[in-house]
Amino acid sequence: MTGTLQVPAGLDRVTTRRTRVGLVSGGLGAYWPQFPELLPQLRRSADEVSARLGGLDCEVVDVGFISDERDGAAAAERLRVADCDLIVGFLTTYLTASMLVPVAQRSGSPVLLVNLQPSEVMDHATFDTGAWLAYCGACPLPEMANAFRRCGVEFRSVSGYLADERAWTRIGRWVKAAGVRAALRHGRHGLLGHLYPGMMDVATDSTLVSAQLGGHVEVLEVDDVRVRVERVTDAEAGARAALAREVFTLDSSVVAEDLDWAARVSVALDRLVEDFSLDSLAYYHRGLDGEVHERVGAGLILGSSLLTARGVPACGEYELRTSLAMLVMDRLGAGGSFTEFQALNFRDGVVEMGHDGPAHLAISAGKPLLRGLDVLHGKRGWGVSVEFDVTHGPVTAFGLGQDRDGTFTMVASEGTVVPGPLLRIGNTTSRVDFGRDPGEWTDAWSASGVGHHWALGTGHRVAELAAVADLLGLELTVVRP
C-alpha cells in the first residue's frame, strides 16, 4: 500500500506486498424463498462493494455470499488459508452472529463489518417487507458487536450507504491501516552498526519489535556495506552520481570526490537492501581518524535518501523506532522524513524541525539540495548531505515511544508547514505551526514519551493513525492545539 507519493523522476518505488483484503457478504437464508427478488439485489450490492474495495489499491479475496452458519464456516476456512490482512464482512441485511463469528475467530485477521444500505433513505410509500430488508444491515450490527465481545474478538464497523463517500473514506482508512500492519508483520528491518553512545531513548530491544509489531530485525555490520562498496564499478558509481545530479540541485560546496564516494555507497546500499530483503534501515557508526568504516558511515546520506524516496525508509543514529515510524507514514502515503527539534521561533509561532542526514525526497517542497559538509555535527566524517523543506501545508509528526514496561506507544500531532527563513547547513528544516505557543506544544510533545526523533509526513493523518493503532493494539497519544 503506497498511497499517493510521487517519487522524484529517475527513481522507482520498491515493489511491496499488496494489502490483501478478504470479503464475505451475507444475509439470512430464511428470507430467500419468502422474497425471491431480495437475494439478487443483495448480490448486486455485494458485487459493488467488491469492486469498490478493489479500487483501494489492494488485492480482494472475495469468498462470495453466505446464507447460514455452514456457509460461514466454509468461508472462514477459505479466508484462513488466504492469510488476509483485513477481512470485510458486508452485512447486506439481517444475519445471525453464528455466521460471522467463525470468520473472525479462525482467520486471525482483523475484521471490519460494513453496513452499507442501497441508498440514503427508503421509499416508505412504496416499500414492502422484501424491499425494506435490503436496508436492514444495521439490524445485526449490535448482535455482532455483542457476540464478538463475548468471544474475545475486537470489533470495528462502518455504517452508511453504497454511494456514501464519507463511509468509503472510513473504509479506506481501515484498508490503509491493514496495509501498515501487514508491512510491519511481514517487514524485515535492518539495524546497521551500533547505538549512538549515550542516547538512552533510542535504545530499542529488537525482540520487542517482533513481539509487538511483528516482522524481523536483521542485525548488520558496517563491513556488510564496506565489502559491497569495494565491488562497485566505476561505471556504476558514475551512473549513480549522474542520477544524483538529476534528482538534486548540487551546491557549489559539493566536492567531486565526495559525490563519487556517496554514489558508491549508495549503490552498495541498494545491494544490501536487495540481499537482505530489507523494508527499512536504521544505522550509525562512529569510526576513527578517517578510516574506511568512518567514511562508509559518513557516506550513507545520499543512498539512504534515495532509498527512502523509493519506499525503503532509512535513518541515522541507530533509530530503529523512527525508521519504523517512517515506514508507517510511507505506507500511509505521507512520506515521513527523519526529524528532531532544531529551534523554537516564538516571534512567528512555529517549531523549527528537521535533521541532518537522510530525508524523504518525495515530500520536498522543491528540488532538494545536496550540500557538501566538512563536518557532520556530532558525528565523525564528512561528505554530502541533503537540504530541503517539507511541502508547505498540512503535516503530521508521528513517532513511536516506549513505556517502562517495554510497551510501544504511538504519538502524533497535526500541524502546518509554513514558509519563512530556513537554515542552510545541509539539514532538512521545516517551520511547523501546531496552532499553539511553540513552547507549550514542545512541552506537551516531549511529555508524551516519544523520544527525540520522529517522522514528519504530509497531510493530517491522525484519523488514519488511530486505525493503525487499533489494529496494532497500541495506545495513540495525540498532542493537540
- Is the pLDDT reported for residue 4 higher than 70? no
Distance CA(389)–CA(354), nearest Å, equals 8
Percent of the chain at pLDDT > 70 equals: 99
Least confident of 6-20, 46-60, 62-76, 112-126: 6-20
Dig out the grid coordinates for 177 from the structure. 491501516
The strand ranges marked E within 126-210 are: 157-161, 188-193
Q: Rounded mean pLDDT of 102-122?
A: 95
Least confident of 118-122, 380-384, 442-446, 459-463: 380-384
Cβ atoms 269, 300 nearer than 8 A: yes
Tens of pLDDT, residue by residue over 222-239, are 999 999 999 999 999 999
Burial (CB < 10 A; 0-12, 13-18, 19+), residue 218, is middle
Please, which pLDDT band fits residue 376 given cuts at 50, 70 and 90?
Answer: confident
Please, which pLDDT band fits residue 11 given cuts at 50, 70 and 90?
Answer: confident
Please, which pLDDT band fits residue 356 given cuts at 50, 70 and 90?
Answer: confident
Please, which pLDDT band fits residue 145 given cuts at 50, 70 and 90?
Answer: very high
- Is the pLDDT reported for residue 5 higher than 80? no
Higher pLDDT among residues 145 and 374, named by residue = 145
Q: Rounded mean pLDDT of 244-263?
A: 96
Cβ atoms 198, 452 nearer than 8 A: no
In this structure, the number of other CB atoms found within 10 A of the CB of residue 290 comes to 11
> What is the pLDDT at residue 16?
83
- Is the pLDDT reported for residue 338 higher than 80? yes
Give the β-pairing of 393-402 and 408-418: antiparallel
Tens of pLDDT, residue by residue over 51-61, are 999 999 999 99
Please, which pLDDT band fits residue 410 given cuts at 50, 70 and 90?
Answer: very high
Give the number of residues written for the chain. 481
- Is the pLDDT reported for residue 141 higher than 80? yes
- Is the pLDDT reported for residue 142 higher than 60? yes
> What is the pLDDT at residue 8?
80
Please, which pLDDT band fits residue 2 given cuts at 50, 70 and 90?
Answer: very low
Domains of the chain, CATH where assigned = 19-184 (3.40.50.10940), 186-478 (3.20.14)
3-state SS string for 458-474: ECCCHHHHHHHHHHHCC
| Distance from the first to the final alpha carbon of the chain | 30
Q: Is the dihedral of CA 114, 86, 206, 14 positive or negative?
A: negative
Cβ atoms 104, 111 nearer than 8 A: yes
Q: Rounded mean pLDDT of 74-90?
A: 97
Q: Rounded mean pLDDT of 356-372?
A: 93
